[in-house]
Amino acid sequence: MKKRIVQLFLCLILTLSLSACNLQFVESSQGADADNLELTAIVQQMLIDQAAQQGNIVEITATPGAGNVPATEEAVVPAAVLPPVTGDVTVTVTTATNCRTGPGQNFKIIYGMPVGQVAKVVAKNSYSGYWIIEIPGQAGQNCWLWGQYAVINGDTAALKEVVTPTSPAPTITNTPKPTNTVQPTATSTTAAAVAPNAPQILTSFVTCSDAGGGNRNYVIELNWADNSNNETMFVITTSSNRLDSKGPNATSHTFTEVLPAGTNLTVSLIAQNGTGSSAPVSTSLSCP
């Protein structure tokens, strides 16, 4: 009897010991996880501090997923939405889009088309997929809108087909223009005269109609940027030996030629003053 009591007592002690060991194991596991998390946080903080001391920037980003918005290829600063315009052909955009002086990112941005704006389409360039629109709120001022996000309303068949500018100058900004410099002499001060800078052709339109006898009426509209401040005139010439001129600070010219159908007409433009002429810029147009 006494021996059995001793055996039961030993079993009880063994059971309590195992329970205590198991409890200690669970607590140790939980404590290890907590220690690992704390260690990870400490290491991350050390890396951030070290990068900051070296002048580096540590950026914490979210894991890529459906909620993240991909970065756009080009920044767009949309203009304020103005009352919608009316016209035979209008356009809206599904995404804010830059509008330029010509087709492509090499051309200067002059307007940011916002979502919700209705603009008038005045011409098209089927080759590049651009629409020429009138800038809302700026009557007579046009720009080239990429068709990727454009929604067109109306019949585009009657729109003018615009020739792609042949002399893109993407960096035309309000940079200082050449000015006359003063050269001192022993007796007087004189201004050194210089020839004007070359203009840049922004757009060129041709409207075609039948002139009879196999000929076509070429109604040509030329628009350019004035890149000088010392011209006395602009001279417009064509490959058909036409010669026109416009006064200083002019930026457009319209004229009509009667030519055989299919003639490829080259139009050239220079700025001129009493010292000389700028380099010519030109564009070509034709009527089928």
- Tokens read off for 169: 């100058």
pLDDT the model gives residue 243: 86
* Per-residue pLDDT tens digits of the chain, which is 288 residues long: 555 555 555 655 555 554 444 434 333 444 444 454 454 445 445 544 554 455 444 333 333 333 333 334 679 999 999 999 988 999 999 999 999 999 988 899 999 999 999 999 999 999 889 999 999 999 889 999 999 999 999 999 999 998 887 655 545 556 666 666 666 655 544 446 899 999 999 999 999 999 999 999 999 999 999 999 999 999 999 998 898 999 999 999 999 999 999 999 999 999 989 888 999 999 999 998
Instruction: Compute the Cα dihedral for 32, 37, 43, 49 and give only its sign.
Output: negative
pLDDT the model gives residue 176: 67
| Cut 0.85: pTM above it | no
Whether the Cβ atoms of residue 120 and residue 184 lie closer than 8 Å to each other: no
pLDDT the model gives residue 70: 38
- Tokens read off for 64: 């890529």
- Bridge partners of residue 125, in order along the sequence: 130
Q: Which residues are CB-contacts of 216 (< 8 A; sequence separation ≥ 6)? A: 208, 209, 210, 258, 259, 260, 261, 263, 287
